[in-house]
Structure 1
């Protein structure tokens, strides 16, 4: 499983998404799961290079991207990525001329993971973190990365938005929430594909 967080940008000198991913790395996902973590720079062109390379190198069962949203107060599961509407400049002051991820690609790609099911299941675990669902990842690098990854993986990607650190959650809380979310995602994925993974005991 590959998991990415983003580097600093704008007012986010410390990006909560990367901190949360590092916390998750410490916690791990259990014995049978090989976990690779990446920090992605907030740059469109790097994302376009990095995502295909990541899929090629690891052929992961699942890729989860984590991003920070200054407006979020919950941990948010994004259902889909959007192809068009990218006008915000990245850390290199660059923006795609076409304002889209993949020219000629579908307008929107849904994750094959049932985010409603994941959200419901995580919400019953009694974590001290609220988890919600969204259909709009924001038309900036989060959305751009998610769409690029969904396009590469035929939908085998997920995106989780976290609020900035301390607003209201600590790094530990975010790490634990990610761990629970990804475990449920894997479970949902396995059942939806009709595979039974004996290692995954609840």
Structure 2
């Protein structure tokens, strides 16, 4: 099963394309015969990770894609690394504004995405969707959730199971938002198509890895 998450609106926006795209991608994946669910996360420190953890525990997905809005970016951004720091330029939707605080006290400094980001980038480029690999998910709620996800997934792996894989994807402003802000945007339908393709690429790559591991035993 594939779990996708997106965020509620924040920063005065009326909508968040990360949630719109995640919903549409989940619908499209189900139409492909792939079991998929979408969950909306609050744009708040702490609570967002709690809801994500509950969703992962409830659905037991094999792949998890958390999606967030990065207004001003022009491409789908496949995030490589989550860092153990919360440092908010603006308050979250509950007024929290942590400065130089760890996501988890005593946690690792960073986690890498376990998605096949290079293969996903190749497949997106082949499909004509503008994409890039990003080396920073920032230090706001997006990175907070990314770190929380990878921390949770790391704890679920044991010696008999390679565990679920996951990562974070940033999407640009929607076309409607971009018109207001005077910056580049992307249609939500194109974002959803990108998420669907990343999911199918990751699912295929994960299956290939398991087959290879089985052949070695």
Does TM, normalized by the shorter one, top 0.5?
yes
Separation in 1 of the partners of 2:192 and 2:49?
27
What is the SS of the residue equivalent to 2:190? helix
Separation in 2 of the partners of 1:61 and 1:195?
17
What is the SS of the residue equivalent to 1:12? coil
Q: Which has the higher contact order (CA 8 A, sep 6+)?
A: 1
Match of residue 107 from structure 1: 109
Separation in 2 of the partners of 1:175 and 1:78?
17
Deviations 1:139-171, CA, capped at 9 Å, x for gaps: 111110010000101272111110011133212
* RMSD of equivalent CA atoms: 1.9
Match of residue 66 from structure 1: 67
| Aligned partners of 2:41 and 2:48 also within 8 Å | yes
Counterparts of residues 1-202 of structure 1 (less than 5 Å): 1-29=2-30, 30-31=32-33, 33-88=34-89, 89-96=91-98, 99-124=101-126, 126-127=127-128, 129-154=129-154, 156-166=165-175, 167-194=184-211
Aligned residues: 193
What is the SS of the residue equivalent to 1:37? strand
Structure-1-length-normalised TM-score: 0.87
Match of residue 159 from structure 2: none
**Structure with the largest fraction of helix:** 2
Match of residue 199 from structure 1: none
- Please, which runs of 5 or more residues in structure 1 have no aligned partner? 197-202
Higher Rg:
2
Structure-2-length-normalised TM-score: 0.82
- Please, which runs of 5 or more residues in structure 2 have no aligned partner? 155-163, 176-183
Deviations 1:17-46, CA, capped at 9 Å, x for gaps: 111112213322521x21111111101121
What is the SS of the residue equivalent to 2:46? helix
